[in-house]
Structure 1
Amino acid sequence: MNKILGKIVEISSSENISLIAVDTGSRVLHSLVVETPETAKYLKIGEKIYLIIKETEVALAREIQNCQTSFLNQINCIVEKIISGKVLSKIVLNCETCQLKAILPTEAIKQMKLKENENVVALIKANEITIMEADG
């Protein structure tokens, strides 16, 4: 699991769903949660929380400058390490002020001709990020 510390900077709620904007120090990431400030006491501006992201929910792209996507979370990274398996590969990414890990099909890594020290963009859907209260 990827775990990134941040601070809530914006909350948009409707019915029982909230879109949470979290400042991670280098960028703002978004999480879509089935909670509201009325149902979860830790959902308030300024509150420190952890963003939890499964390695299997991180997609990679080489370049998306002119491509419009529905991914709210787009993080510029450098490929630090690729650990290739027969079916799946683990990719370690240095992303601005954090490190992310991604697990992708090895075939996808081959098709991208992905190599260490290359620039990529990590893509994470807002509904694939879970939030957790930070201690203290």
Structure 2
Amino acid sequence: MNSFSGHITDIRTSDALSVVTVSVDTAVTFKAIVIDNPETAPYLSEGHAVHVLFKETEVVIATGKDPAVSLQNRVKGTISAIDKGLLLSRIVIHTPIGELVSVISTNAVDALGLTENKNVIAMIKLNEVALAP
């Protein structure tokens, strides 16, 4: 499980749903959609410390400068290690916020030409990001 510490910087609420923006550092923010709002979950307040969590299998890897896709959670980094298996591969990405891990198919590793020291963008759908106070 990927885990990063940050602070809530913005909350947009509609009924029982909230899109929460968490700043992990000055250059990296994550957005998460939660089935809660500030009235039902006291931790949902600007400035509150939270942990951002997401599974390794939910991390999409892209190459190139800025791919045109709808995924808003993007972290740029450099591949520091690849553990290739027959079907799946574990990719470790060195980023400004620490090590981020992705598990993708070995076919995708080969198709993208992923190698150590290659610059990539790790992307995570906002509905796959969990927040822990």
Q: CA RMSD in A?
A: 0.9
Q: 1:99, 1:20 → 2: CA distance?
A: 23
1:77-96, aligned counterparts within 5 Å?
77-96=77-96
Name 1:63's counterpart in structure 2: 64
1:1-136, aligned counterparts within 5 Å?
1-25=1-25, 26-65=27-66, 67-133=67-133
Q: Percent identity?
A: 33
State the secondary structure of the residue aligned to 1:8.
strand
Q: 2:96, 2:11 → 1: CA distance?
A: 24
Shift of residue 64, structure 1, vs aligned partner: 4.5
Equivalent pairs, count:
132
Instruction: Give the stretch that moved more between structures: 49-58 or 92-101.
Output: 92-101
Output the TM-score relative to the length of structure 2. 0.96
Q: 2:45, 2:108 → 1: CA distance?
A: 39
User: Any gaps of 5 or more consecutive residues in structure 2?
Assistant: none
The structure 1 segments of at least 4 consecutive aligned residues displaced by more than 2 Å after TM superposition are: none
Amino acid at match of 1:127: N
Output the TM-score relative to the length of structure 1. 0.94
